[in-house]
Structure formats: structure tokens, C-alpha cells
Amino acid sequence: MSSLSRVSTDQKLIEMWLHGRPLSTQKEYRRDVQVFLGFVDKDLQECKLEDLQGYSSYLDEQGIKPTTKKRKLNSLKSLFTFATKLNYIRFNVAAALRMPKGDTSLAGRILKQSEVLRLISHPQLSVRDRSFLKLTYATGARVSEVCRLKWEDFQERDSGEVQVTLLGKGEKLRTVLVPVSVWIEMQQLRGSEYVFIGATKNPIDRVMAHHIIKNAAALSGITSKVSMHWLRHCNASHALARGASLALVRDSLGHSSVAISDPYLHANPSDSTSNYLGL
């Protein structure tokens, strides 16, 4: 097989493997695989366990964090498993690759509720930034889910409650409640299709979100290396501490798929983690 056709065949397999995944995941996984292939300078069918082990050692030499290294290696294990299922490769050489344990100190990424409230409510924050942080914490949504929200994603109920439909991983929809206090503050932002927009009138992205929470942390005197994802961790932890069930946290944060028999219940929830946060 020529080098050109070999590369072409590998790329076709990679695209088949990525098919149906969220675009952000596709981009991340594709980059992980291309870096690996550049390192070994082989096609997938020629790769051996020692190639993967050598790449793992290379990541250590580069000072890659254990959690990032684990994600990169998991991408490769998933690809090799897929290739084996299609009989593209004869043996899954990645199956024997030992994975790093990674950082499991979730507790270190959870702020006290008093700290979160100080962080998301600082008076020097703009209405947009304050609303963005409050909504992210209240719903436990992923930052990417909040960034692309449109006003049409929200619905006011006859009861006075407000709900928002979020598009999560795997293009799965889930609906959660929004505290009325947060919804009222958000009304000052109306004027565009998207709820949270930047100077260019486009929706804010992850980079802008990172700057927003870093600025909020600096203003509120929080020295931890806080990120937007911490607000998601805090939502779950604080809601559980106030009596929310594990099942409710699972459904509100989209940690698992909704059962086929439950779509009507989840499309119009009577409860949500936001009700346990005291906002």
C-alpha cells in the first residue's frame, strides 16, 4: 500500500470513528490522534503496544498533566477499539496500555456556597457577566451549553416558573428550571437572538467565559484557580448538601441519558437542582 493511500485509509477510519460525536469532541479527538500519528510516524495497522507506551512516556516528558494525558490516551484506546471491531486491525494493541490515575481531587474544585455567591454577584461585574455566572451555577450547565443559549430556549410557565432547554453532549436535550431572580436580571440583556453576546454581537465563547470568571474571582478575592466548570461541580455538591437526590442531580446535569418512558416528565420538570441553591 502506498504512503498516500495508507494515510487516506487511516483518515477515512478516523472520520468514521468520529461520526456522530459533538463537533467540539471531534475537534479534540482528531487533534489527539494526529499528534500521536505524527509521533510514531506509522499507520494504525503498523502500531504496536510499545509505540503507545513510548507515546505515553513522551507525554510525561512534555509535562502533560495526568488528567490531560489520560484523556489523550483514552482517545487512542477508543480509536483502536473501533478499528478492531471493524477488523481494520487484527489485534487491539491499546487494550493493554496502562492508564494514569489522573487527578481525582474533586473536592479541591468545589467552593463554599458563600464563596460562589460572592463570586457571581460582585457589584463591579457587568449585568452580562453576572447573569452568565449566575445562570451557569444555577443550572449546572456546561459552559458550552450556556454560551450558545438563545432567548427561544427559555419558556415562562403559567405558574411563574421559568425553564430552559439545554443541548448537551451527544446532541441530547434536557430541560431544567431557572431561578426567577436570575431570569429577571437577564431581561436587561434582551436585544439579540443570543442571550450572552460579545462586542462583535456574536455569542461569547469559552475564551471569553474564561476571562469572565477569572475577572470575577479577582474582584471577589478568590485565589483558587477557579474555572467555569467549577460552577458545575458546585451546583451538584451544594444541591446534594441541601437535600437534592442523586437522581435529580444526574438528570439536571445531563450525566446520563433520559429513559424512553420519561420524556414528558423531563420536558416539564417539577424540580431541578436550581431549587436547592437558595438563589
157 is a catalytic site residue: no
Q: Is 174 within 8 Å of 183 (Cβ atoms)?
A: no
Q: Measure the N-to-C terminal CA separation of the chain; round to a whole number of Å.
A: 63
Which of the 8 DSSP states describes residue 136? H
57-to-44, 45, 46 alpha-carbon distances in Å: 19, 21, 19
How many whole angstroms separate alpha carbon 249 and alpha carbon 239? 8
88 is a catalytic site residue: no
Q: Which CATH class is domain 3-96?
A: mainly alpha
232 is a catalytic site residue: yes
Edge-to-edge order in the sheet of strand 154-156: 154-156, 162-167, 173-178
Domains 3-96 and 107-276 share a fold: no
Instruction: Give me the catalytic one of 142, 174, 233, 238.
Output: 142
Q: What is the pLDDT along the chain (279 residues), one digit of tens a residue?
A: 433 344 478 999 999 999 988 887 888 899 999 999 999 998 899 999 999 999 999 988 888 888 788 889 999 999 999 999 999 998 999 999 888 765 555 555 678 889 999 999 999 999 999 999 999 999 999 999 999 999 999 999 988 899 999 988 777 889 999 999 999 999 999 999 999 998 888 999 988 999 999 999 999 998 778 889 889 888 888 888 888 887 888 888 887 533 322 332 344 466 777 887 877
Torsion of CA 246, 251, 252, 256, to 10 degrees: 110
Instruction: Give me the catalytic one of 232, 233, 238, 276.
Output: 232
Instruction: Give me the catalytic one of 90, 98, 101, 264.
Output: 264
pLDDT of residue 63: 83
Instruction: Give me the catalytic one of 31, 48, 112, 229.
Output: 229
pLDDT of residue 267: 41
Annotated domain spans of the chain:
3-96, 107-276
169 is a catalytic site residue: yes
Instruction: Give me the catalytic one of 21, 128, 169, 250.
Output: 169
Instruction: State the fold for domain 107-276.
Output: hpI Integrase; Chain A (1.10.443)
How many helical (H) and strand (E) elements, i.e. helices and strands, does the chain have? 12, 3
Put residue 204 in one of left, alpha, beta given phi > 0 → left and psi -120 to 50 → alpha: beta
pLDDT of residue 263: 30
